[in-house]
Structure 1
Amino acid sequence: MNRLYKNSCVLCGIFLLAHMAGAQDVKQLEELQIRDAKTDVNGLRRLSDVENMGIYAGKKNEVVVPDNLNANLATNNARQIYSRVPGVNIIENDSYGVQLGIATRGLNPNRTTEFNSRQNGYDISADPIGYPESYYTPPAEAIDRIEIVRGAASLQYGTQFGGLLNFQFKKGNPDKKFELDSRQTIGTYGVFNSFNAVGGQVGKVNYYAFYQHKQADGWRSNTNLNLNAGYGALTWQLTPKLKAGAELTFMDYLMKQPGGLTDAQFEADPQASYRNGNWFKAQWTIPAAYLDYALSEATRLNVRAYGLIAGRGSVGNIINPLRDKTDTTARRQLSYDHYRNWGGEIRLLHRYRVAGKVSSMLAGARYFQGHTRKKQGTGFTGKDAEFHFPDPGKVDEFDYLFPSHNAALFIENVLWLSGKWTVTPGFRMEYINTNARGYSIEEKTGANVPGRQSKTRAFPLFGIGVNYALTQKAELYFNISQNYSPVNFSDIQVRTPNFQVDPDLKDVTGFNADLGFRGHHKDWLHFDLSAYYLDYNNRIGIIRKASDDGLEVIRYRTNVGRSRSRGVEAYGEINFFRLFALHKETGDLSLFASIAYTDAQYTKAINPLLTTLIVGRQVEFAPKLITRAGITYRRGRFGTTVQTAYTSMQYSDAYNSPHTADGLVGEVPAYQLFDWTANYRLSKFSISMSVNNLLNKHYFTRRALGFPGPGIIPSDGRTGYLSIGFRI
């Protein structure tokens, strides 16, 4: 540790000397925020070396532009929206895009916990330090772009292994005082989505706001959704140098969930449901404010603050299997969380000259304070959406507070060594304090067991990136950055039947490394080919052990061991009509493919007794092959895309167990799907049609140990949608 601190001091000294050396050479520089001159191709582009108060030189990244995709935006269809991002593994928590579940490189996709999830640059998950699950997903129809930076984002944004996932909302049309954008969507199984947005520019004030209502009956029985969401933003250019903004987001939804199935039940009828009283709800309110100040032509300051007032609840029968295939009289377990968080971040971006080359330095600080309260116990019987405890003062499983504190300092610097070489060293100093206090009820004796924990850690993270420009349109890039993942609150305290948690869980440490080649040729070829290596130590997983009395098998969450993921990620898109200079007469015909091969294995077991059971096994949630490909035709106002998506077999536990009779663990079989979308746009009106799962395949992406299962959570069969929109 001392060596790391000394290295951090040396690194900071290098930054300071570089700044001092170039301070006298700084002249009047042009725009500080450089945007990549390359336009997106069918909804995908790259981040520039320096863009939006961030440094991305040497980092693997993608920018998805939803409006330029032929995709079903009304349901946030992740399979289509992230189709050009190689290696995105998807857990389909629901069919409407309410809860996004994605990951890459063998990480757990559940509610996108491995990404640092942000909206307009600030956190939107329940607690990014202690409980980074995302119950709120911004509607795709309101999104201007989705920025994805792999694990190398750990130094600037947060320590997560997955990297950054930032949803950037649209702004008001600067050329109009008022503009209305409305899209109405209907679909099979009772889907109705109404999205309505207004925006514009009045003097020095830009505004944008939307309201969304979504409802559905669902492909399976005992399914229902009712969602309302809204957002409002004002940006005021106070002076030529100073800009201020304020934003408010809200979301409220209630879902009836059909529960899980055993393998036998899934094979017999994947649309069946034997639970008619399982419900889930979430309420999200996010206020935010920011200031942008141009200190000079070369220096810009950004300050932002945000908060979260939110809650999520689930109630239902999680016994599996149900003896009489009905849950009308059985005990329902109620779990409810309250979140009260706030945080702030300051960033300083400065450009300076060294040896005649303009370099960029980004320095910043972050502070976050979270307050989570989790309660779980017996809920009311019946089948209504009742999210109150019979005795609120004393629940019969547990009642805990989880306060958390996080502070960080970070610095990165792009140094141009020549006209072709850049090097980007970076450093982050992280402080994390997590606490737990409350009580739990001993399951067999009914005794009240008080609990109190506190854990503080401070550590540095390092990284470096290198770019080499082969031509103006092609480059080699390399990055290696350290990552860190603290133990989640859900790992510390959870209770479901025959499930326990190790009280001595350890944080996860490791790193990401990327080596790649990316670029484009004229306007007909775009590509990104890279290899990666991910080291993941103290991986948390589930093993099986005997209960204390030896009569039952307990599924036990603990630090299983060390794993490594290595693989190849490739994306390419070719426009045939532009290649042969036919596009002016015939339109555009393009073929894209994104392919990811992942070899993720356990290399070490923490418990020597598990060595023969897990070492060499495939990591759970790590399909070896994920491919997506599609063909798009555009001419004038018409566009259509046919897409295929294949995900190979993956496992749900570290043992690579074959499926069990209760459906809780086992393999998730490989599946291949086809989707089709077409749209036609007039000057003010548009119409879009889409069919998901065109061939009506029966498949699933998840086996749930508890809610919303337990057991297999089937995905939807064939579904169709029609959207009509207008803009005035």
Structure 2
Amino acid sequence: MRYLVLTLIASFGLSASVDLPTTYNDSLRGTRVENSRKMRSVSVNVFNNNMALGGASVRLLNSNFEGITNDLGALILHQVPEGDYVMEVRFIGMKTLRRSIQVSENSLTFRFDLENDPFQLFATQVVVQRDHLFRNIPGSVKVTPKEELDRMQAVTANEVLRRTPGLHVVDEEGAGLRLNIGVRGLDPDRSRKVLILEDGVPVALNPYGEPEMYYSPSIDRMQGVEVIKGSGQILYGPQSVGGVINFITAEPPVEQEMKLKLQSGQGGYTSLLAQYGNTYDNTGIQVTYLRKQADNMAGTQFVLNDLNAKVRIPLSNKSVLGIKFSAYDENSNSTYLGMTQSMFDQRTNDFEFIAPNDNLDVKRMAVSANHRYSIGNGWSLHSTFFANTTTRDWRRQDFALNSFDENGNNILPGDFTGTFWGDTTVAGGAIFMRDRTGNRNRTFQVAGFEQKAEWQTYFADFVEYKLHVGYRYMFERAFEQRINGSSADAISGQLVNDEVRTGNALSAYVLNQIKLGKYFELSPGVRVEDYAFEREIFRQSSRDTLITANNRIRTLIPGVGAGIFLHPNLNLYGGVHRGYSPPRVKDAIDFTFANPVLDLDAEKSWNYEAGLRTKIAPGLRAELTYFLLDFENQVIAASESGGQAFGVVNAGATLNQGVEASIELNFRELVQSPWLILLDAQTTFLRATFNESRIVNGVDIRGNRLPYAPDLTISSGLTVEAPFGTGMRFTLTHVGEQFTDDINSVLPTNNGRFGKMDAFTLLDFGLYHHIRPWKTRVNIAVKNITDQRYIATRRPQGISLGLPRFITAGFDVQL
């Protein structure tokens, strides 16, 4: 760490003497190469389907001249020496275009018309609209591009997702290995109510029957993140209650590219990313390898290896095939066990390895293939096959919370190891570690196939019609065993439970997009879900058995969205759709004594949304959305990660409503400044409550707030980048107070699992510098710069603290 910091300081000092180019959106100055050659200002205009394309990357190869087009698709490169160049124009989802140009007195303006890339556009992305107002998306949307990811210097995906209004992200451990995302007041536990994709393919363990995020895509290797809420998600499934999050990875480049990124920090934290891409005879390849590890990152120890490879093969001028393979291997000391309230109050056991024998091993293999065929006459056909298998073996040491006998003495468990944590004078305030384990071993298999046809045509001169129609089949299976070991580190022992859960799902959908003139668009659609599942139990409570039960759920999911375009810079949108979330098979078919074969229906709601997106002035954009989620019966799935031990928690009718707002200001575009100054803010005002009378512990909870649904969240960022390449970034995050149970307990319980969580505010800081002649960027980042101590969650089994002040430094270079 010391040598890396010294290297960075030296790099900053050396680069200060280098004459570097300016890199700002619609005006850019480059390095003077030859004083004897005349300097010219070069104008570049980029279009797609005759529409101006803002955000396109433009560069002159083998020079320092580069920039990003503004909302009008325009860019000016200043002080370019006369001569011959190759200009390259790129945009995610479109074919990279290169052209030989000559800069001279009579040749100073160049136009580029980019074509949609069929493989990138439909295989990897959810948001295909390319203007800042997202006119074809009838709902709220947030796209985080690669440039923003680089400025944030994010250590975890949690940092990025908190930047989206309406999302509440709960840290389970500081490393961000497991995503816990709540959308608009929905329970964030294991992100069960969110459809999470990578390059358009579901990544949950079993997307229908067990949509837990024990595997989470690593933000280190991402090129962008998309989030859609509201009726814009109707095409996707199975989850359509909260929203869709799509992680986008790098595509094969046109020519050879090699990249290396290294980030190191406290506690032995290291993230090493290596990428190689090239195109051979029109066949593109992209290989990415990530090694990430830490010895003690806020109490988390982990090592992960993440390998991804993409191949892109044009089969003809009308079709293209893409193949992706990935392998993921993670080992960590992840645990469910947190601190008791007395441990938190005493401040003596922060980030201790309370359960040092706990060990989680996650292995995942995945493959997918995407094919697009342009049929002609406005028709195209898109086919996707995907399959993956995930093994999640988790050894967890057993423990007991202290209690007293009639004489006031602590009752010690018979297999007590002699190690305890907390205050033994308070019932439930101490943890006695036991000399035995519970090994929860699970394997998940998923295979699916989807075909979607699209047709675009025009009627008369004022009606544009797009049809999306398709089907999706998915098979999934889960193998689960519980093995009790007879020592604190045993990985084998007595087989207690053994079962298999199988699901077959078929869905079909149709969406019509009807645009009337320039001012109105209507998008009615419907999706049909047919989900058949079965649970087979071969061993239960250490006794052999054979119990089989099954169920089938059929659901119609209608929705409609509308857009009104009163002005080119104003987009009004609204929509309503049926929210749908299938129940976990383990909970939907329950063989416990209390619930002998309990069959649950799918979780349903009516979701409403209305809002606007506007460009107030060049560089000034805003979005405002009102939302309402009206649940007939919200099912809170029982699981240890949700703080429940057994059974199904039926929450009854609930009502989630609120307002999301965001504003972005780019001073470079606003005042034509050579300095890049970006200021933004996103906020969510939320009221998520139980909406019918229900008595819990003698209390009617109607009107109480839902657990882990803060009433206020704020995220704000400030970026300042100088023309010579040095920049700094501040990111502020505020999360309001939260309740952790349905009776809205204020006072904490002794075991730390329930009680109100106070609001907290975090401030992150980053400093970076571009050394453009070396194609290198160096950086240093400080997370939680004020070192605030706060409770991130009281789940699953006690208090977990958020990441303390954490410092990293590193570099990335294009070779």
Pick from 469, 474, 478: which aligns with 2:570? Answer: 474
Structure 1: runs of 5 or more not aligned: 1-30, 545-552
1:610 Cα deviation from its structure 2 partner: 7.7
1:307 aligns with 2:387: yes
| Equivalence for 2:187 | 108
Paired residues in the alignment total 666
Pick from 767, 780, 798: which aligns with 1:678? Answer: 767
1:360 aligns with 2:438: no
Change (3 A) 1:578 1:126: same
- Alpha-carbon displacement from aligned partner over 1:93-149 (angstroms, at most 9, x marks no partner): 232232222222011222322111111111111011001112222222322221211
Distance in 2 between residues matched to 1:651 and 1:495, nearest whole Å: 31
Distance in 2 between residues matched to 1:101 and 1:193, nearest whole Å: 22
Change (3 A) 1:447 1:380: closer
Say if 2:525 and 2:560, in contact at 8 Å, map to a contact too.
yes
1:639 Cα deviation from its structure 2 partner: 2.2
Distance in 1 between residues matched to 2:390 and 2:647, nearest whole Å: 30
Pick from 286, 289, 294: which aligns with 1:208? Answer: 286
Please give the residue correspondences for 1:620-635 in structure 2 after superposition, counting only pairs within 5 Å.
620-635=707-722
- Alpha-carbon displacement from aligned partner over 1:307-339 (angstroms, at most 9, x marks no partner): 011111211125353664177652211101111
| Equivalence for 2:785 | 694
| Equivalence for 2:5 | none
- Alpha-carbon displacement from aligned partner over 1:58-78 (angstroms, at most 9, x marks no partner): 122111113333555562242
- Alpha-carbon displacement from aligned partner over 1:47-89 (angstroms, at most 9, x marks no partner): 99x993467531221111133335555622422x134311221
Say if 1:57 and 1:424, in contact at 8 Å, map to a contact too.
no
Rg comparison, structure with higher value: 2
User: Which letter does structure 2 place at the counterpart of 1:688?
Assistant: N
| Equivalence for 1:180 | 258
| Equivalence for 1:26 | none
1:344 aligns with 2:449: yes
Say if 1:83 and 1:629, in contact at 8 Å, map to a contact too.
no
Change (3 A) 1:719 1:35: farther
Distance in 2 between residues matched to 1:556 and 1:627, nearest whole Å: 35
| Equivalence for 1:540 | 635
Distance in 1 between residues matched to 2:229 and 2:70, nearest whole Å: 16
SS in 1 for 2:420: coil
Say if 2:303 and 2:331, in contact at 8 Å, map to a contact too.
yes
| Equivalence for 2:611 | 516
Moved more, 405-414 or 34-43: 34-43
Distance in 1 between residues matched to 2:50 and 2:175, nearest whole Å: 36
1:699 Cα deviation from its structure 2 partner: 1.3
User: Which letter does structure 2 place at the counterpart of 1:417?
Assistant: L
Distance in 1 between residues matched to 2:396 and 2:54, nearest whole Å: 50
SS in 2 for 1:217: strand
Change (3 A) 1:32 1:464: farther
Pick from 681, 686, 702: which aligns with 1:615? Answer: 702
User: Which letter does structure 1 place at the counterpart of 2:649?
Assistant: T
Pick from 683, 705, 723: which aligns with 1:595? Answer: 683
Moved more, 188-197 or 529-538: 529-538
Distance in 1 between residues matched to 2:696 and 2:767, nearest whole Å: 55
Please give the residue correspondences for 1:524-603 in structure 2 after superposition, counting only pairs within 5 Å.
524-541=619-636, 557-576=648-667, 578-581=669-672, 583-584=673-674, 587-603=675-691
| Equivalence for 2:106 | none
User: Which letter does structure 1 place at the counterpart of 2:757?
Assistant: V
SS in 2 for 1:218: strand
Say if 1:368 and 1:407, in contact at 8 Å, map to a contact too.
yes
| Equivalence for 1:333 | 438
Say if 1:509 and 1:538, in contact at 8 Å, map to a contact too.
yes
SS in 2 for 1:152: helix
Distance in 1 between residues matched to 2:708 and 2:51, nearest whole Å: 36
- Alpha-carbon displacement from aligned partner over 1:377-410 (angstroms, at most 9, x marks no partner): 3135233xx6x4324xxx12x2111100110110
Distance in 2 between residues matched to 1:92 and 1:184, nearest whole Å: 24
SS in 1 for 2:247: strand
| Equivalence for 1:28 | none
Change (3 A) 1:320 1:513: farther
Please give the residue correspondences for 1:175-574 in structure 2 after superposition, counting only pairs within 5 Å.
176=255, 178-221=256-299, 223-257=300-334, 259-269=337-347, 270-296=350-376, 298-321=378-401, 324-325=419-420, 329-356=434-461, 357-379=463-485, 381-383=487-489, 388-391=491-494, 395-396=495-496, 398-442=497-541, 448=544, 450-489=546-585, 491=587, 503-541=598-636, 557-574=648-665
Moved more, 668-677 or 67-76: 67-76
Please give the residue correspondences for 1:27-42 in structure 2 after superposition, counting only pairs within 5 Å.
37-39=53-55
TM-score scaled by structure 1? Answer: 0.85
Distance in 2 between residues matched to 1:377 and 1:494, nearest whole Å: 20
Say if 1:44 and 1:65, in contact at 8 Å, map to a contact too.
no
Say if 1:641 and 1:677, in contact at 8 Å, map to a contact too.
yes
Structure 2: runs of 5 or more not aligned: 1-46, 58-67, 72-90, 94-115, 129-135, 403-411, 413-418, 422-431
Change (3 A) 1:543 1:62: closer
Distance in 1 between residues matched to 2:625 and 2:576, nearest whole Å: 13
1:120 aligns with 2:199: yes
Change (3 A) 1:609 1:695: closer
Change (3 A) 1:262 1:483: same
| Equivalence for 2:138 | 58
Distance in 1 between residues matched to 2:51 and 2:597, nearest whole Å: 48
Distance in 2 between residues matched to 1:440 and 1:503, nearest whole Å: 19
Distance in 2 between residues matched to 1:112 and 1:687, nearest whole Å: 34
1:643 aligns with 2:720: no
Distance in 2 between residues matched to 1:285 and 1:43, nearest whole Å: 39
Please give the residue correspondences for 1:121-200 in structure 2 after superposition, counting only pairs within 5 Å.
121-160=200-239, 161-174=241-254, 176=255, 178-200=256-278
SS in 2 for 1:721: strand
TM-score scaled by structure 2? Answer: 0.76
User: Which letter does structure 2 place at the counterpart of 1:726?
Assistant: V
Distance in 2 between residues matched to 1:162 and 1:653, nearest whole Å: 21
1:493 Cα deviation from its structure 2 partner: 8.2
Distance in 2 between residues matched to 1:267 and 1:638, nearest whole Å: 42
Distance in 2 between residues matched to 1:271 and 1:457, nearest whole Å: 44
Distance in 2 between residues matched to 1:231 and 1:151, nearest whole Å: 31
- Alpha-carbon displacement from aligned partner over 1:444-500 (angstroms, at most 9, x marks no partner): xx655643221101121110011011211221000111111111145458999x999
Change (3 A) 1:307 1:339: same
Change (3 A) 1:266 1:490: farther
User: Which letter does structure 1 place at the counterpart of 2:607?
Assistant: N
Say if 1:126 and 1:339, in contact at 8 Å, map to a contact too.
yes
1:654 Cα deviation from its structure 2 partner: 1.5
Change (3 A) 1:668 1:609: closer
SS in 1 for 2:215: coil
Moved more, 82-91 or 156-165: 82-91
Distance in 1 between residues matched to 2:537 and 2:595, nearest whole Å: 18
> Cα RMSD (Å) of the superposition?
3.2
SS in 2 for 1:538: coil
Distance in 1 between residues matched to 2:194 and 2:217, nearest whole Å: 15
| Equivalence for 2:83 | none
Change (3 A) 1:576 1:246: closer
User: Which letter does structure 1 place at the counterpart of 2:479?
Assistant: R
Say if 1:211 and 1:228, in contact at 8 Å, map to a contact too.
yes
Distance in 1 between residues matched to 2:800 and 2:776, nearest whole Å: 38
